[in-house]
Structure 1
């Protein structure tokens, strides 16, 4: 019998009132906001917005609750963007869409800031159980950054992995950690680099006492990259069934997968709200196609959710939570 756990990969849209208030406080649009050194008024606005999105998740009935990452104006590049020895320079397109982030340029030795841990500490004060952490995966974070210090791709990836691991070691108790790794799909590592990417994920995963999901999206993983990812010491690999379900199923049929899986079942970039029944049918279909007797299926959105209007975002959370409550999957 498979347990279905409803969750998300985080990075939520700001509540509408918070967008207006923060724009007034900072004097320009959210895409240009400078994260990190915030005034008391800005910090208070983010605190109130965090409590609101925590309540939204709890009221929806999600099994895992994330902090929301509302301060991550640079998307998953955020942990580097607020770090010392990192310059944030020109605006860069975020993968192949109409969102942008400031390019983090590493100019010195990386050291953890405690920024993400502090967000989780704040969330933990309002969540009784089921807290889930979110971090960029080390390969994706290194891919989004520019190295002007380490001078070697392997050394840079190693440094980014250690930076994230040190950050994760400061976390409060969490039940799950989602490592977001879209670059494994969007800019797949070549020979040698694919093995190093797996080892880097290992380092971060081993820094926490929690179930770890390496969540990939915006397509299916190339076969060789997937085979190496299977070597990573994670509890589950996340698959984007919205963007490419056929190649994903082939990879699992050919190479197997972990005892648990995370499935991107609702579209994080489309306002059409999936029904709980549709979500559950997609879980059943994947289990049938892969003959999987999974311990846990993490039912989630395929991508981050900041692309969505707030009302559609909230509706998709409720659909995921309701899907997990439907009749249990028979593997």
Structure 2
């Protein structure tokens, strides 16, 4: 019998009280804050936010709890934006939406930093319930600019080595989500698609936990998906909100891993799905691939949750947890 796990890709919205506190402390909006260089009051505020986000996930009944990534002002670019050998320059659009981040320009070797590990170490939950979140190496290289490594494949390999060292330093955890929206939004071409799979392998090999490569903003093109299937990871995640038909085609044509992450809750729409709707979507996907029996289904939002107001994000957490209970009882 399959296991159904309620989880999220992380990057939660910052609570309103924290936005106000941080704005007062820094004198401008959170999006302008320089992450990684906070004073004691700023750090204390983020500690409070982290505790609140962790408690709220536990209250909802999620099976995997993330740190929440409230400090990630630059979204998936965060691990580079706080690195000593990276310069943050102009404001750039974050994929095809109205969110923006500071462009990270890599000017030197991406040496070990440990920022994400320190965040996760501050989460007070059992290791068996803990989920780490990192940008995937291809997406992080796509969001950044290289002024050091010299070419796309060398840059991607450098990013992978950096993320592998960061992943290796993480405290004990059950699951690692590598977020790879660029595999959809700016799919790698010939040669780079194979290199992207190898880069993901490099990061996944650094941890003992189950690794999920979560893709979103649509469906992965066929060739990059075929290469992704070669990566030694436990599960691939699919956006079943934005383009379920092409996603199901990939599943039917190429199969997938024994475990699967299903993005069945819309992380960019304030309409809150009911538990029944979520469980129906999970069952529908399984019906489309009757030849494949999954060991674990990660039921999750299709995208990060920071797009949503706090109350809507929290309501979706409740619905996800309730839906997985419903699926298991069916």
TM-score, with length taken from structure 1: 0.98
Give the 3-state SS of the residue equivalent to 1:261 in structure 2.
Answer: strand
Query: Which stretches in structure 1 are left out of the alignment for 5+ residues?
Result: none
* CA shift for structure 1 position 269: 0.5
The runs of at least 4 aligned residues of structure 1 exceeding 3 Å deviation read: 126-129
Q: Hey, what does 1:209 align to over in structure 2?
A: 208
1:114-157 Cα offsets, whole Å, 9 max, x none, are 0000000001x345641000000000000000000111111100
CA contact under 8 A between 1:51 and 1:126: conserved in structure 2? no
CA contact under 8 A between 2:6 and 2:300: conserved in structure 1? yes
Give the 3-state SS of the residue equivalent to 2:131 in structure 1.
Answer: strand
Query: Which stretches in structure 2 are left out of the alignment for 5+ residues?
Result: none
Q: Hey, what does 2:167 align to over in structure 1?
A: 168
Work out the CA distance in 2 between the residues paired with 1:329 and 1:317: 19
TM-score, with length taken from structure 2: 0.98
Q: Hey, what does 1:69 align to over in structure 2?
A: 69
1:21-66 Cα offsets, whole Å, 9 max, x none, are 0111111011111101110000000000100000000000000000
CA contact under 8 A between 1:147 and 1:156: conserved in structure 2? yes
Cα RMSD, aligned residues only:
1.0
Work out the CA distance in 2 between the residues paired with 1:245 and 1:112: 38
State whether structure 2 residue 29 is matched by structure 1 residue 29: yes
CA contact under 8 A between 1:230 and 1:257: conserved in structure 2? yes
Work out the CA distance in 1 between the residues paired with 2:286 and 2:299: 13
Q: Between Structure 1 and Structure 2, how many residues are aligned?
A: 329
State whether structure 2 residue 302 is matched by structure 1 residue 302: yes
1:195-238 Cα offsets, whole Å, 9 max, x none, are 00000000000100100000000000000010000000110000
CA contact under 8 A between 1:54 and 1:127: conserved in structure 2? no
Q: Hey, what does 2:101 align to over in structure 1?
A: 101
* CA shift for structure 1 position 85: 0.8
Work out the CA distance in 2 between the residues paired with 1:186 and 1:298: 22
Q: Hey, what does 2:79 align to over in structure 1?
A: 79
CA contact under 8 A between 1:299 and 1:320: conserved in structure 2? yes
Give the 3-state SS of the residue equivalent to 1:326 in structure 2.
Answer: helix
State whether structure 2 residue 225 is matched by structure 1 residue 226: yes
